[in-house]
Chain A
Amino acid sequence: EAGVAQSPRYKIIEKRQSVAFWCNPISGHATLYWYQQILGQGPKLLIQFQNNGVVDDSQLPKDRFSAERLKGVDSTLKIQPAKLEDSAVYLCASSRKGNSSPLHFGNGTRLTVT
């Protein structure tokens, strides 16, 4: 089966600019996750979708971050406006049965905010 696809692979923007990331999960996976990973740390959940509904967005900075999963398949994560501390790798993952089954990760988007 094809893996989780993410784009772009790298992005460099200036602070206060906006940026969007795209994710295509594995076909048939109902659960989709967006994680933020800062260098040397574990992944931090930003938002979790079950089909096209939000399960958990408690750690999403909603004043600047937004995410959607239209039609319960692809998803986009947007940051507007970006801050220096948003520099990180943004990982998308999907799973068949939520947190009780393995997560499959994409290779992430490395964001640098200057």
Chain B
Amino acid sequence: SQQGEEDPQALSIQEGENATMNCSYKTSINNLQWYRQNSGRGLVHLILIRSNEREKHSGRLRVTLDTSKKSSSLLITASRAADTASYFCATDAMDSNYQLIWGAGTKLIIKP
């Protein structure tokens, strides 16, 4: 089953613009993680945000978590061509014995 759903499925923006991706989930969680996957490569961990946190930053990345709405957003500021990748969220669902549930991802394309 897939608890995390990313939105949009695909996003194409100009280099330099900001990119926002959203993740919604269905049940209570302990933490939510964001990963990036470049074509033909494995996933790379970006940020882990715990259920008692509302916002985290890492360089040009900002993640917010709203547990009341069961949603999270990933903001990439000042996008670069190298940010072109698929982005996935993963949640540890309390009702699934905290097993990680992955979304289908958002495919981000940065146009030069």
Binding site for B on A (CB under 8 A): 4, 40-45, 48, 56, 91, 93, 99-108, 110
Contact B30 A100, beta carbon cutoff 8 Å: yes
Q: How far is the CA of A106 from the CA of B100 in the complex (A)?
A: 17
Contact A99 B42, beta carbon cutoff 8 Å: no
- Within 8 Å by CB of B98, from A41, A93, A99, A106, lies A99
* Contact A4-B48, Cβ < 8 Å, known A42-B102, A56-B99, A99-B99: no
Quick one: which of A56, A101, A103, A106 has the most chain B CB within 10 A? A103
Contact A41 B92, beta carbon cutoff 8 Å: no
27 chain-A/chain-B pairs, Cβ below 8 angstroms: A42-B2, A42-B4, A42-B102, A42-B103, A42-B104, A42-B105, A43-B88, A56-B97, A91-B42, A93-B43, A99-B92, A99-B98, A99-B99, A100-B92, A101-B48, A102-B45, A103-B35, A103-B43, A103-B45, A103-B90, A104-B45, A105-B43, A106-B42, A107-B40, A107-B42, A108-B41, A108-B42
Contact A107 B41, beta carbon cutoff 8 Å: yes
Smallest Cβ distance from A87 to chain B, in angstroms?
15
Q: How far is the CA of A102 from the CA of B102 in the complex (A)?
A: 14
Main secondary structure of the interface of B (DSSP, over half): strand
Binding site for A on B (CB under 8 A): 2, 4, 30-31, 33, 35, 40-45, 48, 88, 90, 92, 97-100, 102-105
Measured between beta carbons, the chain A residues less than 8 angstroms from B88 are: 42-43
Contact A45 B100, beta carbon cutoff 8 Å: yes
